[in-house]
Chain A
């Protein structure tokens, strides 16, 4: 699973993409949702927890908390930006 990072999530995680190996604690579970992914990432990167307005896309479509994801999906974490 590849996670693309935008805006402040890139600063929090420290790179523009994140690869999740399938053998990780999270990857070994059978059913996964966007919510579970967020919770998992927040454990590793507590700063992410603060982002109440974060949008998540799965394979280039906006996803809800209960959207199912698997190892082949491309995820994007998209916080709003305000600069002009």
Chain B
């Protein structure tokens, strides 16, 4: 390695070669290679972090390009993890990369997070944020959290040296009804760049021991009036007593619209040869009336958790009930159990089928 490479930061009196060596010896996991994750990755990689982990399963879409500035038009349709590895390896050949082509789930979180010194949360949904918090608390790892919406961003370092956690600020996960979902959520392209860079800065400070860490403090950034406000908060001891992950963190329906209408459903049935249709109504309701042409399997909602081995994990699964409400809940339950399942909720349910037949 060219010793001049990091000269512009090792020359800093408060940083020096010692801090540079700490970066080299450290390992950082970045969850999500999106708007926040990309600037974090680019700067940590440039500055000489020894081992960088990336966890991401999405492909590059056209709507990513306005804020995910590592990707180009030529990358559309490629997997993010592949492009990230290609670009970052070219940027710094000294870095060791560990890539995880998956989403973070309750099944893999502890195993993956345990391999790193510091975790950076650049995820785009609450279930992952609470999962990262709980896993980091269990494993006693600090994590640098950034989150954005619209023209605003939030930044904090949680679980640093036994300090306050995400749950000390926001004890419980908001419901889907409370906070606008991802499709409604706009964000100005540069905002994740700002917050992501601040996350990279906090990460480097944690590792090098330089400066004052933003723990027990929430930074609120408002891009419209260039204001930074810092809120202090303290540890609630019960939040560091987490011993195991929750049974389910649920999943936000972000990527694909999981709700489909009857007509769309019938169109898909004509094309898709292998599908599974699960009717989640009670046994009595199902026996009383069902739609024989669908050849649905009846698994009542309250039995769903215990009968997941009957689900077809290789093909789309359509969930059906009387009105579309219970099947919507079924989608959320199953996503929490296995995020790999391709699930759809049939809007309007059996009622809508009957209405259309009339």
Q: Chain A: residues with CB nearer than 8 A to chain B? A: 4, 6-8, 11, 16, 50-53, 55, 57, 60-62, 76, 78-84
Q: Chain B: residues with CB nearer than 8 A to chain A? A: 32, 34-37, 122-126, 129, 146-150, 152-154, 168-175, 177-180, 182, 185, 187, 192, 218, 220, 222, 224-225, 229-234, 252
Chain B nearest CB: distance from A77 CB in Å?
Answer: 11
Task: Known A-B contacts: A8-B178, A51-B174, A80-B169. Give 12 more (CB < 8 A).
Answer: A7-B152, A8-B180, A51-B178, A53-B171, A55-B231, A80-B179, A81-B153, A82-B149, A82-B182, A83-B185, A84-B34, A84-B192
Q: Which residues of A contact B224 (CB under 8 A)?
A: 16
Given A6-B152, A83-B182, A84-B146, residue A60 in contact with residue B232 (CB < 8 A): yes
The chain B residue with its CB closest to the CB of A84 is B124
Let me know if B231 and A62 touch, CB within 8 A.
Answer: yes
Given A6-B152, A7-B149, A51-B178, residue A84 in contact with residue B32 (CB < 8 A): yes
Q: Which residues of B contact A79 (CB under 8 A)?
A: 174, 178-179
Chain A nearest CB: distance from B59 CB in Å?
Answer: 16
Given A7-B152, A53-B170, A62-B169, residue A84 in contact with residue B231 (CB < 8 A): no
Given A55-B169, A62-B169, residue A80 in contact with residue B220 (CB < 8 A): no
The chain A residue with its CB closest to the CB of B196 is A84
Given A53-B171, A57-B231, residue A80 in contact with residue B147 (CB < 8 A): yes
Chain A nearest CB: distance from B175 CB in Å?
Answer: 7
The chain A residue with its CB closest to the CB of B32 is A84
Q: Which residues of B contact A82 (CB under 8 A)?
A: 123-126, 129, 147, 149, 179, 182, 185, 252
Given A52-B172, A84-B148, residue A8 in contact with residue B232 (CB < 8 A): no
Let me know if A53 and B178 touch, CB within 8 A.
Answer: yes
Q: Which residues of A contact B147 (CB under 8 A)?
A: 80-84
Q: Which residues of B contact A51 (CB under 8 A)?
A: 174, 178-179
Let me know if A52 and B32 touch, CB within 8 A.
Answer: no
The chain A residue with its CB closest to the CB of B186 is A83
Chain B nearest CB: distance from A17 CB in Å?
Answer: 10
CB-contact partner of B172 in A50, A53, A57, under 8 A: A53
The chain A residue with its CB closest to the CB of B68 is A84
